[in-house]
Amino acid sequence: MSFDAAAYDAFYRSSVDDPQSFWATQAQRIDWHKPYRKTLDYDKPPFAKWFVDGETNLCYNAVDRHLATRADQPALVAISTETDTEATYTYAQLHTEVNRSAAMMQALGVKQGDRVLIYMPMVAEAAFAMLACARIGAVHSVVFGGFASTSLATRIDDATPLLIISADAGSRGCHVTAYKCMLDEAIALAEHKPAHVLMLDRGLAAMKTVAGRDVDYATLRKQHMDAAVPVTWLESNAPSYILYTSGTTGKPKGVLRDVGGYAVALATSMDLIFCGKAGETFFCTSDIGWVVGHSYIIYGPLLAGMTTILYEGLPIRPDASIWWSIVEKYKVTRMSSAPTAIRVLKKQPLELLQKHDLSSLKALYLAGEPLDQTTSDWIANVLGVPVIDNYWQTETGWPIISVAKGVGDKPTRSGSPGLPMYGYKAKIINEDTGEECTANEKGVVVIEGPLPPGCLQTLYGDDQRFVSTYWRNFKRVAYSTFDWGIRDADGYYFILGRTDDVINVAGHRLGTREIEESISSHGNVSEVAVVGVENPVKGQCAVAFVILKNAAAAANPDDAKKLEAEIMKVVDQRLGPIARPSHVYFVSALPKTRSGKLVRRAIQAICEGRDPGELSVIEDPAALQQIRTAIEANEKNTCP
């Protein structure tokens, strides 16, 4: 596609200058049971209602409407390298399984509007459950599999589910995590008690059943093999699901999403951002417990009539060619992952990638954390396809900033996720003055209302918290992303880190991302995490934890001290002495979520001698022990 800059810009302008006309056009991408009366109701800002009084259904649009033309096409491929299983479901077979799952829920008393909490590993039954909820108008709340009991209990109390669907266990890197005991403990802790718990037995861990409450999945499924459950048509603004933001402390924030707006937004993004076409295959390596899994494993690809891949396992097991073998076998055309995963694969022998035919792959999309140029350039060169960054949040449901290749072949820019996507009236605002920042001036990334379709409607059960948390008056009421950013002269955005990851050193506000970027420029630095640690004199000081490309360079205390001084000098040169970390620790792993996000709050807590909190979100808890060991091994862990 040739690039027409004027047409690309005009397309964006039409979306923010006349959102009603723009989104009315995009709404034609889905099927409506009843036409909507009004495209947008924004009479009570910041609450936006899209496609008012229209009736539709997510499950119908994702599954049923494809039966006439692609019933025999693979819809869902469930692969587990943990259990060495692989199953393919055509659209017709997926429709059958979703009907069975919907009938099972109804047999347990689930009705339209009831909440169903899904606490499951990456198995096909989890996808059936999500789509079944959508089919009958129940509101699903997927909680990341293996989440700790206390955290799970808070979500049970907030969502008050009638039914919980779970499994005996999940597995990651051949390490089995028993779910049932954690679920039982969570229910015991929670004030709300679900009427039923539907348990899938994978044969991975022993589990005790609670009489009168627990129901065996296989037994109930056998009773509904021929089920045909009609679609429940829902008003566009009816809730589709609740998704709790990761890392929440205290009362969790349940992002509440609608039906019609979400369907339209995802269908549009699959075409204009991800360029996915019906009949092709989409492989998103995320988890259904996160928003990426909701949008681009389950709903988005199916809305587009694609084959979607659900993967349980590591990117390096049985070896580091597993993802590429999947790309070859299923002729994946679009792949979505996280920079962390690519950095892991970069350390593996290149021939593992090169032995597979990847000619079907047209683009790789990376999100979830800032994408560094080294990682981007490496994977782009070895795959020979465009690598497209995209920036968004649980709250938005689909990318805020990227490059919409489906609109025009606008070039990407190193270090930048791109430009604001259609529908997002994004700006960078000076936090102190409330004025819009000039080019290359640091500020807070905000979105002027109304938020486009697909974004959160509110926080479940707490409209006031929705307003007070996200909407601030920067001389204009706008949604705050809580991210620092800059915009260059050409309009490309660069994300600098969370505003709540700011370090206040003697009155100087420093973003952790800025310090990390400077440290990353050192030739021997592979990855880095910077946190702010309390200091009685300066308020806070920066502490850095670094993974080296060549760990031998810090093998003994003298070498480590020399390397630390080099890194500090780099920060001095790039940001000034005020940004210099008080200490640089060398580790071989950093605590991250399964989706690749650094868990800075846990690192900070350990540095300050506090409880690191929810460890179940961390992919490798041993990484936290490395942080502790590094600190204990060196007394210079506070500011001088």
Q: Is 283 left (phi over 0), alpha (psi -120 to 50) or beta?
A: beta
Q: Is the peptide bond before 581 cis (omega within 30 degrees of 0)?
A: no
Task: Evaluate if residue 638 carries a pLDDT over 90.
Answer: no
Contact 133, 104 (CB under 8 A): no
CATH 3.40.50.12780 domain position(s) in the chain: 5-313+390-481
Largest Cα span, the chain: 73
Interatomic CA distance for residues 477 and 42, integer angstroms: 14
Tokens 């699903």 sit on residue: 140
Interatomic CA distance for residues 179 and 121, integer angstroms: 9
Task: Evaluate if residue 637 carries a pLDDT over 70.
Answer: no
Interatomic CA distance for residues 281 and 329, integer angstroms: 11
Angle, helices 91-107/124-136, rounded to nearest 10 degrees = 70
209-253 pLDDT per residue, tens = 999 999 999 999 999 999 999 999 999 999 999 999 853 345 789
CA angle in degrees (0–180, nearest 5) for 235-306-284: 95
Q: What is the pLDDT of residue 614?
A: 62
Torsion angle, alpha carbons of 601, 603, 607, 608, to 10 = 20
Q: What residues form DSSP beta bridges with 332?
A: 281
615 confidence band (pLDDT: 50, 70, 90): low
State the average pLDDT for the chain.
Answer: 92
Q: Measured between alpha carbons, how far is residue 91 from residues 182, 362, 612 in Å? A: 34, 24, 44
CA angle in degrees (0–180, nearest 5) for 113-62-162: 25
125 confidence band (pLDDT: 50, 70, 90): very high
Strand 307-312 vs strand 281-284: parallel, antiparallel, or unpaired? parallel
* 25: enclosing H helix or E strand: helix 19-26
Chain centroid offset of residue 608 CA: 28
- Between the two ends of the chain, the Cα-to-Cα distance in Å is 57
Contact 86, 491 (CB under 8 A): no
424-434 pLDDT per residue, tens = 999 999 988 89
Contact 401, 412 (CB under 8 A): no
Q: What is the pLDDT of residue 249?
A: 41
Closest CA to 237 of 510, 37, 77, 531: 37
Task: Evaluate if residue 453 carries a pLDDT over 60.
Answer: yes
Alpha helices in 480-621 (DSSP H): 512-520, 557-575, 600-607
Interatomic CA distance for residues 313 and 85, integer angstroms: 11
High-pLDDT (> 70) share of the chain, %: 95
Query: How do the residues of the chain divide into helix, strand and coil, expressed in percent and rounded to 5?
Result: 35, 25, 40
Higher pLDDT, 515 or 201: 201
Higher pLDDT, 514 or 140: 140
Contact 460, 159 (CB under 8 A): yes
Alpha helices in 471-592 (DSSP H): 512-520, 557-575
**Torsion sign across C-alpha atoms 601, 607, 611, 615:** positive
Q: What is the pLDDT of residue 448?
A: 96
Interatomic CA distance for residues 562 and 11, integer angstroms: 53
366-418 pLDDT per residue, tens = 998 888 888 899 999 999 999 999 999 999 999 999 999 999 999 999 889 99
Strand 425-429 vs strand 443-448: parallel, antiparallel, or unpaired? antiparallel
3-state secondary structure of 146: coil
Q: Measured between alpha carbons, how far is residue 22 from residues 31, 53, 213, 391, 454 in Å? A: 17, 18, 49, 22, 14
In CATH terms, 5-313+390-481 corresponds, of 3.20.20.190, 3.30.200.20, 3.40.50.12780, 3.30.499.10, to 3.40.50.12780
How does DSSP assign 318-368, residue by residue? S-TTHHHHHHHHHTEEEEEE-HHHHHHHHTS-HHHHHTS--TT--EEEE-S
Q: What is the pLDDT of residue 250?
A: 53
Q: What is the pLDDT of residue 145?
A: 86
CATH 3.30.300.30 domain position(s) in the chain: 506-632
Interatomic CA distance for residues 169 and 145, integer angstroms: 9
Beta strands in 60-154 (DSSP E): 74-80, 85-90, 115-119, 139-142
Structure tokens at 559: 């070498």
127-139 pLDDT per residue, tens = 999 999 999 999 9
412-422 pLDDT per residue, tens = 998 899 999 99
Interatomic CA distance for residues 215 and 211, integer angstroms: 9
How does DSSP assign 177-233, residue by residue? EE-HHHHHHHHHH-SS--SEEEEE--SSS-----TTTEEEHHHHHHTTTT--PPP--
Fold of 506-632: GMP Synthetase; Chain A, domain 3 (3.30.300)
Q: Count how many Cα atoms sit within 13 Å of the Cα of residue 24 in the half-sphere of its side chain.
A: 13
